[in-house]
C-alpha cells in the first residue's frame, strides 16, 4: 500500500451517504450522554411506565373507574384496593390509571401542535425577517400582553367546557412562547457562516431554510417542548379542576383532585393521590427535558 493510500481516511460504507453516517454518529453521542444522566433516565422510565399503564388501562386496571360500592376505604387497609376508594366507593388506583388516558393527551397534543405551528412561524420570521418577520412577531406580541393562564382560561371559557376546547386554548397560548424561541435561534442561524456560505454558493432562500435553518433549530425546539409538557400536565389538570376540561364521571387527574375537596377533612388521600401523580409526571418531564438539553447541545455534552 502506497503512502498516498495510507493517508486517505476511510469513507462511509458503500452505498451510504456521508451525511447519514454523521447523523447516526451524532445521535449515538446524544443517546450516550442522555444515558449518563440518571435523573433523565429515571424520568424517561417513569413516563414510560405511566404511558404504558394508560394505554393498557382496560387490561391492567383492577376495577372499573366508573362503578363504585358507595363505601369509602382508606389506602392499604382495604382488601383489593391498594390506594383505597373515593367517596363514591370507586377504586382510586383504577381511576388514576384510566385518568392518564385523558390527562396526558390533553397536555401533550397541544405541545406537539403548537411546536409544529411555531416551527413554521418562527423559522419564517427569524430567517426572512423584514416585513414578514415583523408582522408575525408583532401579532404574537399581542398575546404576551395577557398572562398565559388567564388567556387560556378565557379562551376555554368562550369555547365552552370539554377536552377539545381545552387543547385549542392551550395550543393558542403556547404558540407565542415557542415561536419566540424558534425566532431567536433562526435569526442566529441566518447570520451563521454556513448559511452565508450556502448563499454564496447560490442556494435558494427556501432551500437554505429547509436544509440549514430548520434542522439546527429542532434540538432547541425538542428540549423546550419536552420541558413545557410538564407544565402543560399541570395546566390541563387545572382546567379539569376548574370544570372546564374533562367532565364527570370520566376519570381525570385534575377532576379527581377537584372531587376530593369535599372530603379533605375525612379522606385527604382522595385529592392528595392524584395531586402527587400530577407533580411526579411534571417533574419527570422536566428531568427528561433537562437530559435532552445536555445531550443535544455539543457544548454541554462530554465524550
Q: What's the pLDDT tens digit per position in 187-205?
A: 888 877 777 787 778 777 7
Question: Whole-prediction pTM value?
Answer: 0.82
CB contact at 8 A, 70 and 253: no
CB contact at 8 A, 289 and 226: yes
CB contact at 8 A, 136 and 125: yes
Q: Is the peptide bond before 95 cis (omega within 30 degrees of 0)?
A: no
Backbone phi, psi, residue 73, to 5°: -125, 140
Residue 67 zone, left/alpha/beta (φ > 0; ψ -120 to 50; rest): beta
Question: In whole angstroms, how far apart are CA 201 and each of 57, 198, 208?
Answer: 56, 5, 11
pLDDT classification of 209: cutoffs 50, 70, 90: confident
Which of 16-25, 98-107, 126-135 has the highest average model confidence (pLDDT)?
98-107
Q: What is the CATH topology of the domain spanning 27-56+101-296?
A: MetI-like fold (1.10.3720)
pLDDT at 207 > cutoff 70: yes
Q: What's the pLDDT tens digit per position in 53-94?
A: 999 999 999 888 888 776 766 665 566 778 888 888 888 899
Flag the least confident range among 133-137, 191-195, 267-271: 191-195
Give the separation between CA 59 and CA 39, rounded to whole angstroms. 30
pLDDT at 181 > cutoff 80: yes
Which residues are registered as beta bridge partners of 85?
91
Give the separation between CA 236 and CA 223, rounded to whole angstroms. 20
Domain ranges of the chain: 27-56+101-296
Higher pLDDT, residue 162 or 26: 162
Instruction: Give DSSP secondary structure letters for the chain.
Output: --HHHHTSPP-PPTTS-HHHHHHHHHHHHHHHHHHH-HHHHHHHHHHHHHHHHHHTHHHH-SS-SS---S----TTSBTTBTT-B-TTS-BHHHHHHHHHHHHHHHHHHHHHHHHHHHHHHHHHHHHH-HHHHHHHHHHHHHHHTS-HHHHHHHHHHHH-SSHHHHHHHHHHHHHHHHHHHHHHHHHHHHTSHHHHHHHHTT--HHHHIIIIIHHHHHHHHHHHHHHHHHHHHHHHHHHHHTTSSSPTTS--HHHHHHHGGGGTTT-THHHHHHHHHHHHHHHHHHHHHHHHHHHH-TTT---
pLDDT at 82: 80
Amino acid at each position: 500500500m502506497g503512502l498516498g493510500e495510507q493517508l486517505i481516511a476511510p469513507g462511509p460504507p458503500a452505498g451510504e451517504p456521508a451525511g447519514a453516517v454523521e447523523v447516526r454518529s451524532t445521535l449515538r453521542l446524544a443517546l450516550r450522554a442522555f444515558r449518563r444522566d440518571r435523573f433523565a433516565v429515571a424520568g424517561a422510565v417513569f413516563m414510560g411506565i405511566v404511558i404504558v399503564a394508560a394505554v393498557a388501562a382496560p387490561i391492567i386496571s383492577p376495577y372499573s373507574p366508573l362503578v363504585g360500592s358507595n363505601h369509602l376505604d382508606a389506602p392499604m387497609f382495604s382488601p383489593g384496593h391498594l390506594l383505597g376508594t373515593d367517596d363514591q366507593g370507586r377504586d382510586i388506583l383504577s381511576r388514576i390509571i384510566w385518568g392518564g388516558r385523558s390527562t396526558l393527551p390533553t397536555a401533550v397534543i397541544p405541545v406537539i401542535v403548537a411546536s409544529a405551528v411555531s416551527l413554521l412561524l418562527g423559522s419564517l420570521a427569524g430567517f426572512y425577517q423584514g416585513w414578514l418577520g415583523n408582522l408575525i412577531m408583532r401579532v404574537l406580541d399581542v398575546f404576551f400582553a395577557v398572562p398565559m393562564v388567564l388567556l387560556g382560561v378565557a379562551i376555554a371559557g368562550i369555547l365552552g367546557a370539554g377536552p377539545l376546547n381545552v387543547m385549542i386554548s392551550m395550543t393558542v397560548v403556547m404558540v407565542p412562547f415557542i415561536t419566540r424561541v424558534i425566532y431567536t435561534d433562526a435569526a442566529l442561524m441566518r447570520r451563521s457562516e454556513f448559511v452565508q456560505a450556502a448563499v454564496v454558493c447560490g442556494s435558494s432562500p427556501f432551500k437554505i431554510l429547509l436544509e440549514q435553518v430548520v434542522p439546527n433549530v429542532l434540538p432547541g425546539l425538542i428540549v423546550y417542548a419536552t420541558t413545557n409538557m410538564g407544565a402543560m400536565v399541570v395546566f390541563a389538570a387545572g382546567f379539569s379542576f376548574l370544570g372546564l376540561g374533562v367532565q364527570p364521571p370520566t376519570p381525570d387527574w385534575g377532576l379527581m383532585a377537584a372531587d376530593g375537596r369535599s372530603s379533605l377533612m375525612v379522606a385527604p388521600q382522595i385529592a392528595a393521590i392524584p395531586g402527587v401523580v400530577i407533580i411526579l409526571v411534571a417533574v419527570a418531564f422536566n428531568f427528561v427535558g433537562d437530559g435532552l438539553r445536555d445531550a443535544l447541545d455539543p457544548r454541554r455534552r462530554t465524550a
